[in-house]
Structure 1
Amino acid sequence: MILKQLRVNSGTICELTNCYIVQDENTKEAMVIDPGGEAEKIIEMLDILQAKLKYIYLTHCHGDHIGALIELKDKKGGKILIHRIDAEGLSNKNISLTEYVGMEDINLEPDSIVDDNDTIHIGDIEFSVIHTPGHTSGSSSLYCEQEKLLFSGDTLFYGTWGRTDLPTSSFDDIINSITEKLLKLPDDTIVYPRTWKAYNDKRRKTDL
């Protein structure tokens, strides 16, 4: 599997955010995870990889995760996937909070919705959807057992967790998602969060 991490400007004031590209080396199929901004940077990397964009996966609907979504889909195709509960946020600015990252309102429908335990295939690589409510009620994470990695969105960061003071957020839910789901993944799992660097399970379990 090819994995690329891009640091993109999502319109937030204080930090860049991570956008990920995963690709099957044999089929060239690819998935973009959380295209928060700078569509041209994402598209350039897809072109370098000669990627066939199959999916654009959104761990949730907030504006700093979808800033490049429209341009990316228009230019490269790919089906938009998001958990069924957060799908409404793609057409509701009060949920997506797009105005806070300087985005114009969008009005999109996902190509497909996903739910807990669904599987997604990129070539021969399989990802499992884990519903991880808390940051939003429809937040989700992607786990790849083959490659021993987790894309945690805004649920789990390096030593902490995502905000729970936003529409549809819940502190109790995010703690439950982390303790009952993410911390129970195998010890050698590498976590790729929305911000900061990737880290391994030892840090995942001891730094919270």
Structure 2
Amino acid sequence: MNWKQIPLGPLQTNCYLLFNEDKQCIVIDPGAQGEDLIQYMEQEGLKPLAICLTHAHYDHIGAVENVRSHWGIPVYIHENEKEWLTDPSLNGSARHPMEPVSGQPADHHLEKEGALEIGPFTMEVLETPGHSPGSVSYYIKEIETVFSGDALFNGGIGRTDLLGGDHATLIDSIHNKLLSLPDQTTVLPGHGFSTSVEKEKTSNPYL
């Protein structure tokens, strides 16, 4: 199993493609440039099985409809943000000088932590709210990797001044869910470069 990081859109939001040796693929946070993303996956021979969202801010969901409709695959999101895909006032796009981002509701709502099985892939869903009320992280023990969305960054943490954000909740999520993972765990954030649990424990100035 391996992964590919692809920064997309004006905010360079990290989309991740998680794939196996058979080229089956999970798409995490397809934020923008849907046609470019589709073209890349087709060139690589990838076969997407699902879209998994860490949260539903506009810069993480902009290409959801392109990818979903192209392959006819389901979308997973936490139940606390199940309305956000369809509502620009919730996902934030209505507050910016851009075309509002909206689409169809998600196909599956994540209601609790635990194992999420999609085809041959098994991920552990961790509820990591604070940046947004339905933020989740996806941990894959097999490759010692966690997709942290906008909860934890390389040397930083997510902003909490947006709808439903809460600083104390975010700090609690980071300490109790992400920094409790093994030190060698690779952290793949929603923006910027990858890091590790050990590095953020010892050097993140916000923690």
Q: Normalising by structure 2, what TM-score?
A: 0.92
Aligned counterparts of 1:94 and 1:8: Cα–Cα separation in 2? 22
The Cα of 1:199 is off from its aligned counterpart by 1.1
CA distance in 2 between partners of 1:206 and 1:103 (Å): 41
CA distance in 1, matches of 2:126, 2:112: 5
One-letter identity of the residue aligned with 2:4:
K
8 Å CA contact retained: 2:62, 2:101:
no
CA distance in 2 between counterparts of 1:45 and 1:172 reads 39
Matched, 1:7 2:7: yes
In the other structure, the counterpart of 2:158 is: 162
Match of 2:37 in 1: 42
Identity of aligned residues (%): 34
Q: Offset at 1:123?
A: 4.4
Structure 1 pair 2/164, CA: closer, same or farther in 2 (3 Å)?
Answer: same
**Structure 1: runs of 5 or more not aligned:** none
Question: Aligned pair 1:68/2:68, yes or no?
Answer: no
In structure 2, stretches of 5+ residues that fail to align are none
Measure, in 1, the Cα distance between the counterparts of 2:181 and 2:97.
33
Answer yes or no: is the 8 Å Cα contact 1:24–1:123 preserved in 2.
no
| Superposed counterparts of 1:168-183, under 5 Å | 168-183=164-179
The answer to whether structure 1 residue 189 and structure 2 residue 180 are counterparts is no
Alpha-carbon offset, residue 124 of structure 1: 3.3
Q: CA deviation at 1:118?
A: 3.2
Deviations 1:120-164 (A, max 9, x none): 335433111101010111100000000000000010011111110
Out of 197-206 and 158-167, give the one that drifted further.
197-206
Shift of 1:115: 3.0
- Whether contact under 8 Å (2:129, 2:136) holds in the other structure is yes
Question: Which secondary structure does the structure 2 equivalent of 1:181 belong to?
Answer: helix
Q: Deviations over 1:57-96 (max 9, x none)?
A: 1111110001111111121222100011111111222210
Q: Superposition RMSD on alpha carbons, in Å?
A: 1.5
Corresponding residue of 2:125: 129
**Structure 1 residue matching 2:100: 3-state secondary structure:** coil
- Does 2:49 match 1:54? yes
CA contact (8 A) 1:43 1:76 kept: no
Q: 1:150 to 1:163 in 2, by over 3 A?
A: same
Q: Using the alignment, how far apart are the partners of 2:149 and 2:189 within structure 1?
A: 5
Q: Which amino acid aligns with 2:79?
A: R
Q: Is the 8 A contact 1:120 1:128 kept in 2?
A: yes
C-alpha change, 1:101 and 1:182, in structure 2 (3 Å) is farther
Secondary structure, counterpart of 1:44 in structure 2: helix
Q: How many residues align?
A: 203
- Residue of structure 1 in register with 2:13 after alignment: 17
Q: TM-score, normalised by structure 1?
A: 0.91
**Which secondary structure does the structure 2 equivalent of 1:184 belong to?**
coil
Cα distance in 1, alignment partners of residues 183 and 112 from structure 2:
21
Q: What secondary structure sits across from 2:184 in the alignment?
A: coil
- Which residue of the other structure, out of 102, 105, 109, is the alignment partner of 1:113? 109
